[in-house]
Amino acid sequence: MLLSIIKWIGIVLLVLLGLILLILGLVLFVPVRYKAQGSFISGVPDGKAHAGWLLDFLQLDAVYRSDADQHFELVFKVLGIPVRKNNEPSDDNEGITSDEESPSQTSIDIRPPEDDELSLDAPAVKEESSGPVHAEPAPSDSHAVNSETASGEAVPLSEDDTHRDEEGENVFAGFFRRVSETCKDISVTLKAVYRVIRQKCEAASKLINLYTASENAPAFKLLKKMLFRVLRELAPKKGSGKLILGTGDPYTTAQVLEILLLLSPSLIRQVEIVPDFDHEIHDFDGSLRGAVRIAVLLWAAARVLLNKRIRLIYKQAKTIVQQEILN
């Protein structure tokens, strides 16, 4: 009896383990297939996209129309049944308020005051005297001339003249003081700017030394390899249409074409690519298909994250950026 119970428990555990391994294998190795069809002309996108996994057991559809309403729709389906539908909110009902919800306006009483209220609130006004007012004549400055000045004797400087001389000296002293303070402020500012620029340049040189160090070369080589592996996995495998590509610089345009050729050689043969070496243009009209395996992405991420040298370079670069560049 006990052995049969243990046997059935073992069978159940093996079945559960097999189900877990089966689900894990499906998630990792069954690719997520996607396809997109539309256009991107003069910076205006228009088209639709579909992504499905496990014979469209899970689906994700997206539609965007660049018409007057700029319609965008995102639908997630399980076995063809919509689970979540996300639409952009329409602006048809915005700004419409009913008369009942509008705030009530306060009435203003514009009736004139009655005679009794006017008599009570009016302030008392004193009667002005009608008698003549005699103004005293102001003393003339011509009568204040000292008699000693007419006799030719020397007149001592008054306090007003001495005060004017002192004010003139204070004005010149204040002007020179402000000029010297301004020069000092400019000197301090230039020194501070020089220190900041020198600190940033030293930090940039440290980052460059991290990249050019011989002991870090294998780590950067591995990082570059995994990055291109991920990009090749994400790149479309099939397609049709026409692509007009130009960056405004002939050298940069040639580099972009070379990268596209490395990422997906089959796509270059299927899509007509017209390079424009004189203008900056990114126009496309056609369709693309591809498949992404989760196992490849996780394998590349694990190779990078488990590398000790890459983690050390990341920590050093993060410290330099936070302490010397951002501060």
Task: Assess if residue 114 is contained within a domain.
Answer: no
User: 222 with 300, same domain?
Assistant: yes
Q: Counting every residue, how long is the chain?
A: 327
Mark whether 187 and 246 lie in a shared domain: no
Question: Residue 280's domain spans which residues?
Answer: 216-325
In a domain, 278, yes or no: yes
If asked whether residues 200 and 246 sit together in one domain, one would say: no
Q: What is the pLDDT of residue 79?
A: 87
Quick one: which of 99, 25, 16, 18 has its CA closest to 298?
25
Within a domain: residue 138?
A: no
Q: How far, in Å, CA of 285 to CA of 240, rounded? A: 9
Residues 235 and 314 in one domain: yes
Question: CB count, 10 Å around CB of 263?
Answer: 16
Whole-number pLDDT of residue 146: 43
What pLDDT does 299 receive? 95
- Within the chain, strands assigned E span 32-41, 44-53, 58-65, 71-78, 81-87, 238-247, 272-275, 280-292
User: Does residue 56 share a domain with residue 44?
Assistant: yes
Per-residue confidence of the chain (327 residues) as pLDDT tens digits? 788 889 899 999 999 999 999 999 999 999 999 999 998 888 888 899 999 998 889 999 999 887 767 778 889 999 888 886 666 544 444 444 444 444 444 444 445 444 444 444 444 444 444 444 444 444 444 444 344 444 444 445 455 555 555 666 677 777 788 888 899 999 999 999 999 899 899 999 999 999 999 999 999 999 999 999 999 999 888 888 998 989 888 899 988 888 888 877 877 778 888 888 888 888 999 999 999 999 999 999 999 999 999 999 999 999 999 988 887
Residues 173, 235 within the same domain: no
Same domain for 291 and 313, yes or no, is yes
Do 299 and 227 have their domain in common?
yes
In this structure, is residue 10 part of a structural domain? no
Q: How far is CA 259 from each of CA 44, 235, 263, 284, 315, rounded to the nearest angstrom?
A: 25, 11, 6, 17, 29
Q: What is the dihedral of CA 227, 231, 234, 237, to 10 degrees?
A: -140
The total domain count for the chain is 3
Q: 225 and 286: one domain?
A: yes
Burial class (CB in 10 A: 0-12, 13-18, 19+), 239: buried
Q: Are residues 180 and 220 in the same domain?
A: no
| CA 204 remoteness from chain centre | 23
List beta partners, residue 78: 58, 81
d(CA 20, CA 66): 44
Q: Mapping DSSP to helix (H, G, I), strand (E, B) and coil, where does residue 145 land? A: coil
What's the Rg (C-alpha) of the chain?
A: 43
Q: Which residues contact 261 (CB under 8 A, 6 or more apart)?
A: 268
Same domain, 202 and 221: no
Alpha carbon dihedral 304, 309, 310, 312, in 10-degree steps, equals: 140
Residue 177 falls within a domain, yes or no? yes
- Domain presence at residue 93: no
Please identify, among 212, 241, 270, the residue that sits at the C-terminal boundary of a domain: 212
pLDDT of residue 2: 83
Q: Is residue 248 part of a domain?
A: yes
Half-sphere exposure of 316 (CA within 13 A, CB side): 15
Structure token digits, residue 156? 């001592």
Rounded Cα distance between 16 and 299, Å, is 25
The reported pTM is 0.62
The reply to whether 305 falls in a domain is yes
